[in-house]
Structure 1
């Protein structure tokens, strides 16, 4: 895709999406997952993307993070045109600027909590990995559980480790895919509060995919995706096409 015709992204936005569509090849046919999505998320904002299973919300999250490339349209992440970058360049951009929190936690089972949090710091070649990991685990309430492996931790504790790991390299944007989906209501509320607090205090842009309307309502921006079409839900409960 040519990059010289693309408009310059605004410095105020962490994410800018223009006319994004995405399809998958089924051999004799193709399936359209996303249609003409337009979206801008400001630096430091919190945003939720809500939709039913199969609506395209997780696919959109992957495209915003540069894990995949759209069939058409553009995605700018912190001013970088994702489609103009090689796979290695996209990976480097994610390692320096992006954190991830997944529904399934995705912790390394043979490593302790502190080793899981230290890993991305060490991979990024940053100093003081242990002291920073200790500080993050203390921040998420796990000062007494640092040496425990994931199997020795509850689901809520594992998600807290995952959140600490996501913030280990001071990401400018955090993508969370159903971060409370595998948790009971009380633990899910605690994780939600932690994410929102870190968003406010560290100024990290937060983009969450969720089916939880209450979680979505905690965010500054609330988007709804239906059959691949994205709308922004307004405070007056109206929905408008996202721009």
Structure 2
């Protein structure tokens, strides 16, 4: 379960204090897929980063699997992320010095998984990239890089998946294939999926859509 209570995010600017999130109350059930949608600047990516433990809020509480991560320091949050969270980024976030397969292996090695290469190859094949294991990110197309990123995320077997505009940097056809892959793997794994997107077609594939305007939830979805 993912839960936030009275979640606020405020930052200081040259023009004074800017409120990005205005007291977000949210609950996402295990196994649920949820799309967070809204205009640019509405606060949806900020909310996603907070829920994933990548940043800390100005006030409020966040719970992942019943554990309040907002009371933890960065090292403790990193441990929680390593155990519970996988993340797919819009710009892939692959390490250019590692091959595609090594990028998938990395989180497995960090977690101390036995024989990470075999596990990584299984997931690599599942995303349709057999034969591209030893290519570096710069040698792959955008769609292939996102497939590597998705393989890396699912290889970790984390119960919660966050995705920030996972098809945002891809053309329509490639983005559609990536969306199919994301939802197919998510259904097989039974993970909780929370994604931010501008793509209404992508959002409509989720169990519900949460609409944010000016830092507040205006439609919580059903």
TM-score by length of 1: 0.88
Q: Which runs of 4+ in 1 moved over 6 A?
A: none
Q: 1:9 corresponds to which residue?
A: none
Residues 170-185 of structure 1 aligned to structure 2 (within 5 Å): 170-185=157-172
CA contact (8 A) 1:113 1:161 kept: yes
Change in Cα spacing, 1:29 to 1:190, as seen in structure 2 (3 Å) is: same
- Aligned partners of 2:54 and 2:140: how far apart in 1? 29
- The alignment status of 1:188 with 2:175, answered yes or no, reads yes
Give the SS at the match of 2:166. coil
- The alignment status of 1:122 with 2:109, answered yes or no, reads yes
- CA-to-aligned-CA distance 1:102-154 (integer Å, 9 cap, x gap): 01001111211111101111111111100000000101001121111111111
- CA-to-aligned-CA distance 1:215-240 (integer Å, 9 cap, x gap): 100000101111001133647xxxxx
CA contact (8 A) 1:221 1:232 kept: no
Q: Which runs of 5+ in 2 are unaligned?
A: none
Q: 1:8 corresponds to which residue?
A: none
Change in Cα spacing, 1:146 to 1:47, as seen in structure 2 (3 Å) is: same
Give the SS at the match of 2:155. coil
- CA-to-aligned-CA distance 1:158-215 (integer Å, 9 cap, x gap): 0000000111221110110100000000110111111111121101111101111111
Give the SS at the match of 1:197. helix
Q: 1:221 corresponds to which residue?
A: 208
Measure how far apart 1:82 and its partner are.
Answer: 1.2
- The alignment status of 1:62 with 2:62, answered yes or no, reads no
Of 80, 84, 91, the residue aligned with 1:93 is: 80
How many residue pairs get aligned? The number is 222
- Aligned partners of 1:228 and 1:218: how far apart in 2? 24
CA contact (8 A) 1:174 1:207 kept: yes
Residues 70-149 of structure 1 aligned to structure 2 (within 5 Å): 70-149=57-136
Measure how far apart 1:96 and its partner are.
Answer: 1.2
Q: 1:11 corresponds to which residue?
A: none
Measure how far apart 1:68 and its partner are.
Answer: 1.4
Of 15, 18, 23, the residue aligned with 1:36 is: 23
- Aligned partners of 1:75 and 1:57: how far apart in 2? 15
Q: 1:168 corresponds to which residue?
A: 155
Q: Which runs of 5+ in 1 are unaligned?
A: 1-13, 236-243
Give the SS at the match of 2:113. coil
Residues 224-243 of structure 1 aligned to structure 2 (within 5 Å): 224-232=211-219, 234=221
Q: 1:152 corresponds to which residue?
A: 139
Measure how far apart 1:29 and its partner are.
Answer: 2.2
Give the SS at the match of 1:110. coil
- Aligned partners of 1:97 and 1:233: how far apart in 2? 24
Structural RMSD (CA)? 1.3
